[in-house]
Structure 1
Amino acid sequence: MNVVDTRVPDARAPLRLLKVVPTLLCGGTENQVMALCRSLNHGRTDLEMACLRRLGPFVKEIDDRRIPLAEYPIESFYSLNALAQQAKFARHLTRRRTQIVHAYNFYGNVFAVPPARLAGTPVVIASIRDLGLYLTPMQKRVQRYVCKLADRVLVNADAVKDWLVRDGYAPEKIVVIPNGVDVSRFSAPREPSRLRCELELPPDVPLVAVVSRLTRLKGLEQFLEAAALVGQRFPQARFLVVGETPPHDPTYLDDLKALAGRLCIGDRVIFTGLRSDVPALLANVTVSVMPSLNEALSNALLESMAAGAPIVATRVGGTPEVLTDGKTGLLVPAADVPSLATSIARLLDAPILAAQLGRAARQVIEERYSITRMAATTENLYRDLLTRHARKTERRGIRHERAARETHGQWLGTLTSLVDRPALPIAEPACSVHVVTDDAEFLALEAEWNETVERARIGHPFLRHEWLRTWWECFGRGCRLHILIVRRGGRIAAIAPLLSDTTRSYGISIRRLRLLHNDHTPRADFIVAEQPEESYRAIWKALCEQRDRWDVLQLSQLPEGSPTLDTVSSLAAEDGCLSGVWPSGDAPYVRLAGNWDEYYSRLSSKFRQNVRNRLSRLTRLGEPALETVIDGAALLGAREDAFRLEASGWKAEAGTSIDSDPAVHRFYALLAERASQHRWLHLLFLTVNGERIATSYGARYGNRLFLFKTGYDPAHAQCSPFKLLIYFAVRHAFAEGLTEVDFLGDAEPWKLEWTPTTRAHHWLFVFANTSRARVLHHAKFRLAPVLKRWRA
């Protein structure tokens, strides 16, 4: 039995404290837990620890320090073993009469808080030290409920507190104690030549470093892209990536190395792996970079500041709470590669400014973020909560003590019976909808997103994550993500890739939800992978619940046969919302039935004669051939030739070429880098004697070839080089066994020479059930057509 101690604790007595972490791997939370364990006053703290897996480099240190460490192995929280382990944990707390349980992160909180609370532990603390992007909506709800049982929720940044309050947590229960750094570890003198000698580099080479666990939210891809830009101005610079990949994503390091190769900086990027001399390393780098896409409060940031390193960091999470732009470092927007590169180059250009920022950063750490300060604040919190509990219990008296003992006994009995009871059947999970508005959360969905696209059997790449991510980064300025994610049982069932913005239509200012689409995305839609009726209804219900935020839902460039058109129109009508449809372009495509000779013989004789004449003219200049570039490094080099050809002639004069608009240029440049990793992007060239004279971006996806962004060298106009490129491309598609060549876009005459078959597209407009939206519908679908006919 757990006897509740009603006496106010003696401030001199050791606290019986138990800390719970999922594992003891080398991560941010684990580093902070261990730093705190080293710094707590051991004469005033009787410490023990628990974990769910006895795994990681800190296990040895805990054993060496003779801190008791218990393992409660759990493979799944849906298993009866999880309940058995929680019962075992509760019995341990009872026997030891533990005064404080402090759990960390989602799995630690879910495991430890309920049994600690129900076992009668006087003080129970949950810790949340990130912004939870890896959590499913169900996991977020579970953690929110669990944290209601805790006395306090300890976070490490105001940004985390603000997120939790928005998510429904009680603000009065949340305590902010920032991370701390052992400043004494960062007091060694600078020895820049030693580090460069170890890396076999000249003594004056600038070193730009990222110290981070190698995970996909750390912005390492953006760092490498920025490094490629910085390297153009500072070819002698070298770029360090310090850290190791986590067990759940062992191939990510290979992905980063491959990206460095495609960016042609593979020989200037050094992947050092995990290092134990981080303080000395940071003291001797030229610039320390924190490119994270999402962060609560980075240990690497604090350590870089403690080392006096000049810092460039992204403006995410708690970073701006610590780093002041222009005073202790430079801040840039997340995922903004040009800004990141510019700021790194600025510090490389201005060593005096860099040194000033580094000194100011070190002073901030000494004054506000030392581990000594963090440990004292945390211990004060422990003792304050324990004192509050004792006084509250003393006021309630013996009746409360008896009730606590009875509750504890009943709970253990119930838990034991559950462990012995046969498992009940699990109900079919219902749909849940989550709205993604944060860029970093969107980026974190990449693997799940593309897996959903594949399950939805979407036969083109224009809804893949790398396409929409690139589109958003290049064209999303002034807009806000509003992506609806439908899940069933934790797995994504459907995605509505929407954004929100404001615009004017017929003189009326409107709030609009629309697909991530403009003229540079040939086809758009919702992504529905399973249970379409239920998924569409869940999307519509979520839209209706937020109807006060939009006047018009605009779904543009829906392809013929998409169920979105009819289904969303019907659901809107059920709720009294008006809708209307506009026809868009008809995209020509070639069905590759039979063989090339049969297909080509069906084209008009006049057209075939023209092709023969053009081919004959070109052959006089040399041997024509189709060149297809797929592989990363070669593709990035060929990309510049494609841009040059695409900008030749009338497009550059009309201002419609890729190079005419920086956002458009960035879109197609980034798309080439990212899509090449998945090997669906092909750059097609018509060559003569090895010279590239016509081009098209191509997407080889499934058994289809999509052609977009075309161009040719006007010096060879008499040979119609682009017509001959299509000739060779379609013939090659037949040879490869493809089923379709899609020209995309509108039904232009040159496309219809190759095929009479087209695929229609439509724009669907849905208007909220408000007077304002009804006026807009009337203007768009009644008055405007009448005025158009009258003017004609």
Structure 2
Amino acid sequence: MASDRIRIMFVIGSMGHGRAGTERNLLTIIEHLDRTRFEPFLVSLQGCEYIQQGRFICDTACLHLYRMFTPAMWRKRKQLAQRMRELGIDIVQTFFVEGHLVGGAAARMAGVKAVVSSRRNLGYSYTLKERLLLKLANRYPHRWLANSQAVADTISRLEAIDRSSFDVIYNGVEIPAPGTAGTAEAVKPSQTVIMVANLRPVKAVDTLIRAAAVVVKSVPNVRFAIVGDGPQRASLLKLAAELSLAEQIDFLGSTSDVRATLRSTAVGVLTSTSEGFSNAILEYMCAGLPVVAAEVGGNREAVLDGKTGFLIAPGDHDALAAKLIYLLTSPDESLRLGRAGRVRAEAKFSLAAMILNFQEYFVRLMK
């Protein structure tokens, strides 16, 4: 019966256009929760473009709250608490600093049984203001939920939260069938290296470009595909031209179908200097690609060094180049690592596994 369902309200600082990592992950959870057992609700404080397009399959609300500690905030927080009571919300899960601050406080005011505060990166971009707001917001949760052990370890130290208060659920992605569109096995062998990342400093795309200048000397027919966009696009294009790589590197921009691009590539790369738990790496693994990634954050938990790919020191373009040359000139080894990565993704990082873990987690919170 509907009354037996666990009612979960997700409160996020901003849904934006629904395309960024946290927002996409939240939408996936909402979409796949078993409606016979769970009833989800979504509240976005601001950035409501996606909600206003009417694409949701659950009850939604946008508070249009753009400033903290104003009369509007106090009023809307009280109204949110009242709405939680009216709906009989059992669990509130919050995202982003504003979501933690407003959603967490409202949940406590409403007497919600379980308040969960989400952390999905290593806090690399925290400002002093955000640290102060988080200190206030951290009075409200019963539990904190991270997407990797590395995030839980780092945030517990950074925010002075007891590590035992953290739970971990890994991201998950849909696994394509072997030999079908979206897998490297579906197409002929390739000499293309791909990196899927926003073009921002934390992604360190320049490390790949500098490595490319070394790789082309040993593998002349290699190509590089960079999927994503961002504020560094112009400077990265300039760097590629300065290194005489304009013909070898394709800046493909953003795409809604990454898997179609992955089909014709040989190796997946991620050079970030900070990473919570990368969906890009999971997509590489699902596609049967060996992965070369910087040894930071949750990358260590996804990539098994020497078994599903390789881990390198952040910023070490020479080490990256060496691993790429090895994989591009050792097709049997590349295939072995890629297949092992796919097996690992199927076992630990599938969409089905993630949804099951979330559902079991919500049930445990109610006990």
The TM-score, its normalising length taken from structure 2, stands at 0.91
Tell me which residue corresponds to 2:164.
172
* In 1, Cα distance between equivalents of 2:48 and 2:161: 31
Aligned CA distance change for structure 1 residues 321 and 190 (closer, same or farther; 3 Å): closer
Tell me which residue corresponds to 2:65.
74
Deviation at 1:114, TM superposition (A): 1.2
Say whether the 8 Å CA contact 1:283–1:309 is kept in structure 2: no
Deviation at 1:315, TM superposition (A): 0.3
* In 2, Cα distance between equivalents of 1:105 and 1:73: 15
Aligned CA distance change for structure 1 residues 82 and 288 (closer, same or farther; 3 Å): same
Deviation at 1:379, TM superposition (A): 1.5
Tell me which residue corresponds to 1:133.
124
Deviation at 1:137, TM superposition (A): 3.4
* In 2, Cα distance between equivalents of 1:30 and 1:347: 34
Matched, 1:223 2:215: no
- Aligned partner of residue 18 in structure 1, secondary structure: strand
Q: Which letter maps to 2:214?
A: L
Tell me which residue corresponds to 1:23.
15
Say whether the 8 Å CA contact 2:31–2:57 is kept in structure 1: no
Aligned CA distance change for structure 1 residues 87 and 49 (closer, same or farther; 3 Å): same
Deviation at 1:370, TM superposition (A): 1.5
After superposition, give the CA deviation of every residue in 1:135-187 in whole Å (9 maximum; x if it has no partner): 12342243144233211100011111111232310122110111111214776
Q: Which letter maps to 1:240?
A: A
Of 290, 304, 313, the match for 1:310 = 290
Tell me which residue corresponds to 2:323.
343
* In 1, Cα distance between equivalents of 2:186 and 2:335: 19
Of 85, 96, 117, the match for 1:94 = 85
- Aligned partner of residue 138 in structure 2, secondary structure: helix
Say whether the 8 Å CA contact 1:283–1:308 is kept in structure 2: no
- Aligned partner of residue 251 in structure 2, secondary structure: strand
Alignment of 1:321-340 (within 5 A): 321-340=301-320
Deviation at 1:82, TM superposition (A): 2.6
Of 272, 275, 288, the match for 2:255 = 275
Say whether the 8 Å CA contact 1:205–1:238 is kept in structure 2: no
- Aligned partner of residue 34 in structure 2, secondary structure: coil
* In 1, Cα distance between equivalents of 2:357 and 2:186: 38
* In 1, Cα distance between equivalents of 2:186 and 2:238: 29
Aligned CA distance change for structure 1 residues 262 and 186 (closer, same or farther; 3 Å): farther
* In 1, Cα distance between equivalents of 2:206 and 2:192: 18
Q: Which letter maps to 2:259?
A: P
Say whether the 8 Å CA contact 1:178–1:374 is kept in structure 2: yes
Tell me which residue corresponds to 1:361.
341
Say whether the 8 Å CA contact 2:114–2:366 is kept in structure 1: yes
Aligned CA distance change for structure 1 residues 82 and 289 (closer, same or farther; 3 Å): same
Alignment of 1:371-770 (within 5 A): 371-387=351-367
* In 2, Cα distance between equivalents of 1:205 and 1:351: 10
Aligned CA distance change for structure 1 residues 129 and 345 (closer, same or farther; 3 Å): same
* In 2, Cα distance between equivalents of 1:328 and 1:204: 18
Tell me which residue corresponds to 2:199.
214
Tell me which residue corresponds to 2:28.
35
Tell me which residue corresponds to 2:229.
244
Q: Which letter maps to 1:322?
A: A
Tell me which residue corresponds to 1:147.
138
After superposition, give the CA deviation of every residue in 1:71-115 in whole Å (9 maximum; x if it has no partner): 122322243333333223222212212111111232321231111
Q: Which letter maps to 1:344?
A: L
Deviation at 1:65, TM superposition (A): 4.5
Tell me which residue corresponds to 1:287.
267
Say whether the 8 Å CA contact 2:147–2:170 is kept in structure 1: yes
* In 2, Cα distance between equivalents of 1:375 and 1:281: 26
- Aligned partner of residue 149 in structure 1, secondary structure: coil
Say whether the 8 Å CA contact 1:39–1:371 is kept in structure 2: no
* In 1, Cα distance between equivalents of 2:259 and 2:49: 21
- Aligned partner of residue 175 in structure 1, secondary structure: strand
* In 1, Cα distance between equivalents of 2:181 and 2:329: 23
Structure with the greater alpha carbon radius of gyration:
1
Deviation at 1:58, TM superposition (A): 7.5
Q: Which letter maps to 1:165?
A: S
* In 2, Cα distance between equivalents of 1:300 and 1:131: 17
Q: Which letter maps to 1:173?
A: S
Tell me which residue corresponds to 1:777.
none
* In 2, Cα distance between equivalents of 1:347 and 1:118: 56
Say whether the 8 Å CA contact 1:310–1:357 is kept in structure 2: yes
* In 2, Cα distance between equivalents of 1:155 and 1:186: 30
After superposition, give the CA deviation of every residue in 1:400-430 in whole Å (9 maximum; x if it has no partner): xxxxxxxxxxxxxxxxxxxxxxxxxxxxxxx
Q: Which letter maps to 2:43?
A: A
Say whether the 8 Å CA contact 1:51–1:70 is kept in structure 2: yes
- Aligned partner of residue 259 in structure 1, secondary structure: helix
Say whether the 8 Å CA contact 1:328–1:361 is kept in structure 2: yes
Deviation at 1:64, TM superposition (A): 3.8
Tell me which residue corresponds to 1:110.
101
Matched, 1:156 2:147: yes
After superposition, give the CA deviation of every residue in 1:185-207 in whole Å (9 maximum; x if it has no partner): 77625687999xxxxxxx87611
* In 1, Cα distance between equivalents of 2:36 and 2:132: 39
* In 2, Cα distance between equivalents of 1:19 and 1:186: 35
CA RMSD of aligned residues (A): 2.4
* In 2, Cα distance between equivalents of 1:307 and 1:291: 19
Say whether the 8 Å CA contact 2:263–2:287 is kept in structure 1: yes
Tell me which residue corresponds to 2:244.
264
* In 2, Cα distance between equivalents of 1:190 and 1:372: 18
Tell me which residue corresponds to 1:320.
300
Say whether the 8 Å CA contact 1:11–1:383 is kept in structure 2: no
Q: Which letter maps to 2:254?
A: L
Matched, 1:52 2:45: yes
Say whether the 8 Å CA contact 1:36–1:371 is kept in structure 2: no
Say whether the 8 Å CA contact 2:295–2:311 is kept in structure 1: yes
Deviation at 1:305, TM superposition (A): 0.8
* In 1, Cα distance between equivalents of 2:276 and 2:202: 12
After superposition, give the CA deviation of every residue in 1:515-536 in whole Å (9 maximum; x if it has no partner): xxxxxxxxxxxxxxxxxxxxxx
* In 1, Cα distance between equivalents of 2:222 and 2:68: 48
Deviation at 1:213, TM superposition (A): 2.2
Say whether the 8 Å CA contact 2:15–2:51 is kept in structure 1: no
* In 1, Cα distance between equivalents of 2:183 and 2:35: 35
- Runs (4+) off by over 6 Å: 190-195
**For structure 1, which segment, 185-194 or 213-222, has the greater mean C-alpha deviation from structure 2 after superposition?**
185-194
Aligned CA distance change for structure 1 residues 278 and 190 (closer, same or farther; 3 Å): closer
* In 2, Cα distance between equivalents of 1:113 and 1:186: 43
Say whether the 8 Å CA contact 1:192–1:285 is kept in structure 2: yes
Deviation at 1:33, TM superposition (A): 1.2
Tell me which residue corresponds to 2:279.
299
* In 2, Cα distance between equivalents of 1:223 and 1:74: 40
After superposition, give the CA deviation of every residue in 1:600-629 in whole Å (9 maximum; x if it has no partner): xxxxxxxxxxxxxxxxxxxxxxxxxxxxxx
* In 2, Cα distance between equivalents of 1:265 and 1:383: 53
Say whether the 8 Å CA contact 1:218–1:293 is kept in structure 2: yes
Q: Which letter maps to 1:29?
A: T
Q: Which letter maps to 1:115?
A: A
Say whether the 8 Å CA contact 2:183–2:262 is kept in structure 1: no
